Structures are given as structure tokens and as C-alpha cells.
Amino acid sequence: MTIFLTGGNGGIGSTIVDVLKKANIEVISPSSIELNLNKEFDVTHYPEIDGFIHCAGANDLKSHDNVVLNELYNIFKINTISFIELCGQLKFKNNSNIIAIGSLYATMTKENRIQYTTSKHALLGAVKTIALEKASNNIKVNMVSPGFVDTPLTRQNNSQERINYLNQNIPLGLTNPLEIANFCLYLIQYNNSITGQNINIDGGYTLKGL
């Protein structure tokens, strides 16, 4: 089994790569130098694959009245447009699984998240549409949306006080990236019926909000 994965160097992406490899799954995960999602690319030379996980993502805090169009386009290109392009260019075997790593901001939002939120909402729309269009080949397409995940980046971008607050107020605390990776492994190996869905893995965050 061979899986194509973007964003393999991030906290979530690297964990997914490790989990897949431990399950004896071959992972093709080009670096950002080998595959620059912000520019035109061609991946049609890669071999036929059993699945694709789009873990690459970009975020930049901006309010709607401070948006710089070039920055907005770049975020959409990486988060959303490249996913659509990759789904069209990669060669999938029948019964493959495609996973877009989404976010809580695919269905909700917060101030100063206009660029990220709109790109993730659009990504969910792409997941649902591509799921319908690939169903004839029994290819399933889903979004897995993490909440607050305990990664080095999360700890870098939040004070210890904020980390403590999240752990105390999210019903199950910060999510371990292994939970994301293990669920992706399940979808890749066993999923035959779930498609066009957005699955939150958020420790119960969306049950109450913070």
C-alpha cells in the first residue's frame, strides 16, 4: 500500500507519517522544495497510489479589513486549491481513500481568522464535491478536523497559561497528534463506507466552545 502525503514535516503530518510507516505502508511525502504547493506543479509522474492525505496548510492572522490579496491567494492555494489539483493529478487505485486535514475553522470561526477560515470552509466544500465525483471508482474522500493539538507549534504559539487553560476547559484536554494519525490510519486501511464527511477530533471542544 502506498500513500501520498503533503505537509509531512509538521507536528501532525510527521506523526501520521510515523504511524503509517509502522503499519508497513509506503509513504511518498515530498518536501516543500520538491513540491511547492504555492506555485504551479505537476505530480502526474508519481506511481498509482492507494490514498492521499493533504496535511499541508498555511495560516496568517488577519481581520477582513486588513487582508492583502496576495497573501489571501497564497493561503487558498496551499490550503484548498492545491488539494483540488492533487486530487485531479494523482493516479488513484479503485477503493482508495483521500483525507484532507481540516480544522475546527472549517465549520466555525474566530476574530482575525478570515483567511484561514474561508480557505478551510472552501476545503470542506471541495471534499464533499470530490467525494461525489470519485464515488464511481469507490474512492472515499473525507475531512479530519483537529481541535487544539498538543504539537510543538501549539506550545510555541501559546503561553503556558493558555495551554493550562485549554487542558482544563476542553472536556478531554489537548488532543495528542497520535489520535489524528491513528484515525487516518483507520480510514486508509479499513474505510469502505464513510465519504464526504467532516470528522472532528477535538477532545470535545465543539460541545461547549471556549
d(CA 181, CA 77): 24
Q: For residue 45, is pLDDT > 70? A: yes
> What superfamily would CATH give domain 2-202?
NAD(P)-binding Rossmann-like Domain (3.40.50.720)
Catalytic center residues: 116, 120
Q: Give the closest residue to 189 by CA, choosing from 58, 107, 122, 96.
A: 96
What one-letter code names the amino acid at 66? N
Task: Check: CB of residue 89 under 8 Å from CB of residue 43.
Answer: yes
Listed as own residue / partner, the contacts of 73-80 with beta carbons closer than 8 Å and 24 or more positions apart are: 74/38, 75/115, 75/116, 75/119, 76/115, 76/118, 76/119, 76/122, 77/37, 77/38, 78/37, 78/38, 79/116, 79/119, 79/120, 79/122, 79/123, 80/119, 80/120, 80/122, 80/123, 80/126
Question: Any bridge partners for residue 27, and if so which?
Answer: 3
Domain boundaries along the sequence of the chain: 2-202
Span 134-184, pLDDT tens digits: 999 999 999 999 998 988 777 877 788 988 988 889 999 999 999 999 999
Q: For residue 69, is pLDDT > 80? A: yes
Q: For residue 82, is pLDDT > 80? A: yes
Enter the C-alpha cell of residue 66.
486588513
pTM to 2 decimal places: 0.93
